[in-house]
A and B are shown apart, each in its own frame.
Chain A
């Protein structure tokens, strides 16, 4: 089995293009050189974008950190699928509970049994409603996942813009 990586395919295509400089030929290929995962394409320059959104996924561990920190993806550890499903559920639940109030993506950390959800919020609701919603999510999630759940939120006045794309 020979795996042909997209990089070698691109190089082959580029080399063929250079070889055909003199002549004219129609070449058609599927769009292979583009990656579209977790990227916001450059546009007119009027769209504000946060640091998290602006950097592409190949910058993780270089200029970006991790949004979900647990040990199940390490060598010799298991439970990766369960943690991923839990993370997705938590993200959707909190996106819905604090609708329109989240400034950026959640950061989910697991320390032993403890699940810590760190969120950046905008000042859209009065504080007593935030306190209630935080307590409600903590209680609900701790009963659902049978582990202590803590939410650490930090308030911002508006979304922090890194650049305009």
Chain B
């Protein structure tokens, strides 16, 4: 159940997403991925690609091309801006991480995101030394180890809506046995009350009173 790596165009991107939301089984008691198009907002001008969110109810109706006119809302509130989006994936298997890195970098390039750094932090080995026998024989032990390999993909200068789309795509196609940690560094406007330094305001007031 791995996504096709041949993402030729953005249309195919939305098509693969369409398949994925149908394959993940949804059961009443289950925790599902939050995916409700009515609540997501897009500032359409900042996003280069036409990514359509398909409501779950309409998945089995017609072809993917027919769903171009889906609910994409444009709102007045400004989109969040992220200076850096850091995706750290960890796994026991290095080969799985290699292939996932290829997939994630390809997806980022197709979406037009700037990949700041793609690197491999050093692996972590946790070793346990246990007694080999159930009873006595203290000198004879057995050693186990658990290796965790890491891969980090850093994307710079990304908007909130693009990051949500990219992360949803990446996370839907996460292989089994791979964990992901996402760190976002947001950019905010400097608050008005600290635009001017306090001492200059006070000196202005003193000059004004004199």
Q: B-contacting residues of A (Cβ < 8 Å)?
A: 3-6, 9, 30, 32, 35, 37, 61, 65-66, 69-71, 73-77, 109-114, 116, 142, 146-148, 150
Contact = CB atoms under 8 A, between A and B. Distances in A.
Interface in B165-194: 174-179
A146 B29 contact: yes
A6 B132 contact: yes
Given A74-B92, A146-B30, A109 B177 contact: yes
Contacts of A146: 29-30
A4 B141 contact: yes
B26 interface: yes
Nearest to B133: A30
A111 B140 contact: no
A111 B174 CA distance: 8
Contacts of A75: 90, 124, 126, 146, 148
Contact of A3 (B25, B29, B30, B141): B141
B143 A114 contact: no
B141 A113 contact: no
Contacts of A147: 27, 29-31
Contacts of B147: 61
Nearest to A108: B176
B92 A61 contact: yes
In the A-B complex, list the 8 residue pairs whose CB atoms are closest, starting with the nearest: A69-B177, A109-B176, A148-B25, A71-B179, A75-B148, A69-B176, A32-B140, A146-B29
A6 B30 contact: no
Majority-rule SS of B interface residues: loop
A77 B179 contact: yes
Contacts of B148: 74-75
B179 A112 contact: no
B92 A113 contact: no
B90 to A, nearest CB: 5
A3 B129 contact: yes
A142 B33 CA distance: 18
Given A74-B91, A148-B30, A114 B137 contact: no
Interface in B66-93: 90-93
Contacts of A70: 176-177
B84 to A, nearest CB: 21
A114 B30 CA distance: 9
B8 interface: no
Given A9-B139, A75-B148, A113-B31, 9 more contacts: A4-B141, A30-B137, A66-B177, A75-B146, A76-B90, A111-B174, A113-B32, A147-B30, A150-B25
A9 B179 contact: no
Contacts of B92: 61, 66, 73-74
Interface string B9-44: 000000000000000111101111100000000000
Contacts of B142: 6, 35, 37
Given A61-B147, A74-B148, A75-B126, A113 B93 contact: no
A61 B93 contact: yes
Contacts of A65: 93
Nearest to B150: A75
Contacts of B32: 113
